[in-house]
Structure 1
Amino acid sequence: MANVQETLIDYLRDAYAMEQQAISIMDRQIERLENYPEMTARLRSHRAETERQAERIETALQRLGTDTSSLKTGMAKLSSNLQAMMNTFAGDEAVKDVISNYTFEHYEIVNYKILKATAETAGEMEIARLAEESLREEEQMASWVEQNIGVITKDFLSRIENPHMQQTAKR
C-alpha cells in the first residue's frame, strides 16, 4: 500500500492533468463563444489563473523530487477535446458550456480540498498552502459561473427568439 507521500505525489499529478484539461476546455470555448463577451472575458481570466495553478503544482512536484505524469496529462487533454467537440455540435453550445464549466469547477474544488488535506497529513504545509490558494480561485470561478447561469441562458434564448440573431445563438 502506498504511503501518504506517494499518495500526495499521485494527487499532485492528477491535479496537474486536471489543470491541463481545464486549459484545453477553456481554449476551445474561448475560440467559439465570440457572441458571449462576458463569458469569454471571464474564461480568459480564469485560464491565466489555471496556468498559474499548473505552475504551482509543478513547483510542488519538484519540491518532492519528481515531475508530472505525461500519461495522465495526455489522457486528460484527450478527454477535454472530446467534451469540447460534443458541445460544439449542440445547438445550445453556450448553455452546454455553462453546464460543463459548473461541473468541472466543482470537480476541481473537491480535488483541491483532497490535495490540501493530503499535503497537511504528509506534513507538506507549503504544498497545502498552494492547494488552498488554487482552491480559492476555483471557488471564485464556480461562484461566477453559478451567478451567470441565468444570464447566459437568457442571452442564448434571446438569440433563438430573434430571427436575425439565430445564426449566432450557438456561438
Structure 2
Amino acid sequence: MSKSKAQENYIDWVRDAHAMEKQAETMLTKMADRLEHYPLLQRRIQEHIVETQGQQKLVQDVLDRLDTSHSVIKDVAAKATAMGQSLSGMFVSDEVVKGGISGYVFEHFEIACYSALIVAAEAVGDLQGAQTFMTIKVQEEQMAKWLEENLPEVTQRYLALLENPDVDASR
C-alpha cells in the first residue's frame, strides 16, 4: 500500500527533525566546551545537551514506529553545518554573545518545526507522534525562555570581562 503525500511529507519532516537534533547537539557541545567564564550558561547548555540527546531518541522512536529510518545524509549534512557554525564562532571575540543569540534563534526554529510536526502527525493519525513532538516542543520553549531571560546577564558579564586584559572574555 502506498503512502499518501501527507504521510510522505510527515516522514520526511520527522527525518529532518532527527537531523536538526543532531545539529543542535553538535553546536551545543562545541559551545559548552568553550565557556570558561560563564558557568551558569555552560551548565544550562550541558543540561540541554542531555535533553537534546533524549529528543534524538524520541524522534528515532517515531521513525522506528513508522518503519522508516533517519536520513544518514541529512544527519551528516546537519553535523557538518553545525561544525562549520561552531568553528566560525571560534574566530570572533564576541562568540559567547553571538552564540547566545544564535542559540535563541535556533530554539525558535526548533519550536516552529515541532509546531508543524504536531499538526502533521495529527493529520496523518499519528497521535503518539504528536504527543512526542509536544513534549519536545515544551523543552525547546523552556530553553528559549531561559536564553531570553539570561542573555542580558551573559552580555553584561562579557562586557565586564572585556575590561580585564588578562581574561579572554569570549570563553
Asked whether the two chains share a fold, i.e. TM above 0.5, the reply is yes
Give distance in 2, aligned partners of 1:164 and 1:20: 36
1:127 to 124, 129, 135: 129
Counterpart residue identity of residue 80, structure 2: L
- Tell me the TM-score normalised to structure 1 length: 0.96
Residue 2 of structure 1, CA deviation? 5.8
Residue 135 of structure 1, CA deviation? 0.2
1:163 aligned counterpart, secondary structure: coil
Counterpart residue identity of residue 47, structure 1: I
User: Which digits, 9 at most, give the CA deviation of each residue in 1:17-64, with x for residues without a partner?
Assistant: 000000000110111112110000000100101011110110000111
Unaligned runs of 5+ in 1: none
More helix by share: 1
Structure 1 stretches of at least 4 aligned residues deviating more than 2 Å after TM superposition: 162-165
User: Which digits, 9 at most, give the CA deviation of each residue in 1:136-159, with x for residues without a partner?
Assistant: 000000000000111000000000
Counterpart residue identity of residue 123, structure 1: G
Residue 8 of structure 1, CA deviation? 1.0
Give distance in 1, aligned partners of 2:170 and 2:4: 47
Counterpart residue identity of residue 170, structure 2: K
- Tell me the TM-score normalised to structure 2 length: 0.96
- Corresponding position of 2:153: 151
Residue 164 of structure 1, CA deviation? 3.5
- Corresponding position of 1:34: 36
- Corresponding position of 1:170: 170
1:81-160 maps to which residues of 2 (within 5 A)?
Answer: 81-160=83-162
Counterpart residue identity of residue 150, structure 1: P
Tell me the C-alpha RMSD between the 2 structures: 1.2
Residue 162 of structure 1, CA deviation? 2.8
Give distance in 1, aligned partners of 2:154 and 2:84: 23
Give distance in 2, aligned partners of 1:9 and 1:129: 16
Residue 129 of structure 1, CA deviation? 0.1
Give distance in 2, aligned partners of 1:156 and 1:58: 38
2:83 aligned counterpart, secondary structure: helix
2:93 aligned counterpart, secondary structure: coil
Counterpart residue identity of residue 7, structure 1: N
Counterpart residue identity of residue 115, structure 2: K
Q: Percentage identity across aligned positions?
A: 38
